[in-house]
Amino acid sequence: MKVVVVGGGWAGCAAALTAAKQGAQTVLLERTDMLLGTGLVGGIFRNNGRFTAAEEAIALGGGDLFHAMDSQALHTDVRFPGHEHASLYNVGTMEAVVRRLLAAAGVEMVFVARMTDVAMDGARMRSVTVGRHDEATLHEADVFVDTTGTACVPNACNRYGHGCGMCVLRCHTFGLRVSPTERAGVTELVGHKGDQIGAMSGSCKLLKESLDISLVRALNRDGVVMVPVPAELKSGEDKMSIKACQQYALPEFEDNLILLDTGHAKLMTPYFPLEQLRRVPGFENARFEDPYSGGIGNSIRYVGMAPRDDHLRVDGIDNLFCAGEKAGLLVGHTEAVVTGLLAGFNAVRQARGEALLRLPLSLSIGDAVTFVREQMQTEAGMGKKFTFSGSVYFERMKDLGLYSTDVAAIHQRVADTGLTGVFGGAVGAATLAAQ
């Protein structure tokens, strides 16, 4: 029983880890030389409804990656506009911790391994071809998981955004993203925000060393710093409306420079011209870390999502699952991890010929998987982005009574479904079989 996961972001890591825990020989193919993808510049978790989703995942037996995040947290219980009880992990140390975790679980990780094509047998994928160091390697498997994300290629970032931001996806170095779903012949879905194709990502890292020492001290102490933007520097562009993460589309993020401490100083805006940034007191020597072109733009995402069911199986392909951004208009590390857990688990059940798991709507994870799929079947829904931490879906969580920070109550909710520990290897298999 072999599972191949294509893409080593948070979703791919979760899918590979879960598949390995279920007993599958698991291979994780990553296009670059590091895991986590945009998680290398993210760092925010447990904020708002993400706390609930993380604790549901832990109770379901899929807590390994959340425990890893907790172990690397620089700050906990951070408050900033629109967000409560956030944790901020260290983006500089997180990847190595996850890599060791996957290795200990027996996941075979292949880096600098850009998928170039797939081979089909009717409605089944038979293999993927990987180009690595100018050599082509064939990886056959019983089941595949597509976690390659939805980012544009650089020329599309130029066309639909403000130009290639030389972001952490590093297309110029490691080659363009290739989608197993698309290569299997499935027509992918393209999101939008009004007339904007896809949505602009927004991680602007500043070197702490380039900031005024008083800002650095406050950031290290509190995890967050807010500096008002001088009136003469306000562009009136409403930059936050084009950002993928709509939970930040609040006036406070337009009126202030909001910094979060994730090892670097994370500037919560999709871009900010460097010349203007250096006119703000305390930012006179500011320098962007990633993307280096963060003063102009960043990557365009949500242009290649897979049509799928609530088991996260791709429509029309018997043995291909998806997770993370590939599974739809879900934004964030927590969202990637929880969909990865479900995709990796169901990949193994598919390989065994067993019934697939659909998480119940009484859990926020299950409700989100179903709700987002339904929304993606509408034109209005394709113009939105969904997350446990804000905007449309967080409001839905509260309306349905799904949002909670009571750990015992969240775990009891999972227990009431009979799915406690379901993602936890042999324990999980026995739990599901007993249902």
Q: Identify the pLDDT of residue 21.
A: 97
pLDDT digits (tens, 9 = 90+) for 367-418: 999 999 999 999 999 988 899 998 899 999 999 999 999 999 999 999 999 9
Q: Identify the pLDDT of residue 332.
A: 94
Q: Identify the pLDDT of residue 137.
A: 93
Q: Are 32 and 9 in contact (CB under 8 A)?
A: no
Q: Identify the pLDDT of residue 163.
A: 80
User: Which residues of the chain are modeled with pLDDT < 50?
Assistant: 427-429, 434-435
Q: Is the dihedral of CA 28, 39, 399, 242 positive or negative?
A: negative
Q: Identify the pLDDT of residue 240.
A: 57
Q: For the chain, which residues make up each domain, given as ranges?
A: 2-151+174-193+301-433
pLDDT digits (tens, 9 = 90+) for 62-87: 999 999 999 999 999 999 999 999 99
Residue 348: both structure tokens together: 């193994």
Helix or strand run (H / E) with residue 173: helix 171-174
Q: Identify the pLDDT of residue 427.
A: 46
Whole-angstrom CA distances from 217 to 277, 282, 288, 419 are 19, 12, 19, 45
β-strands 143-146, 2-6 pairing: parallel
Write phi, then psi, for 44 (nearest 5 degrees).
Answer: -100, 130
Whether omega for the bond prior to residue 251 falls within 30 degrees of 0, making it cis, is no
Q: Identify the pLDDT of residue 251.
A: 81
Instruction: For 2-151+174-193+301-433, give the CATH class.
Output: alpha beta
Residue 231 class from Cβ within 10 Å (0-12 exposed, 13-18 middle, 19+ buried)?
A: exposed
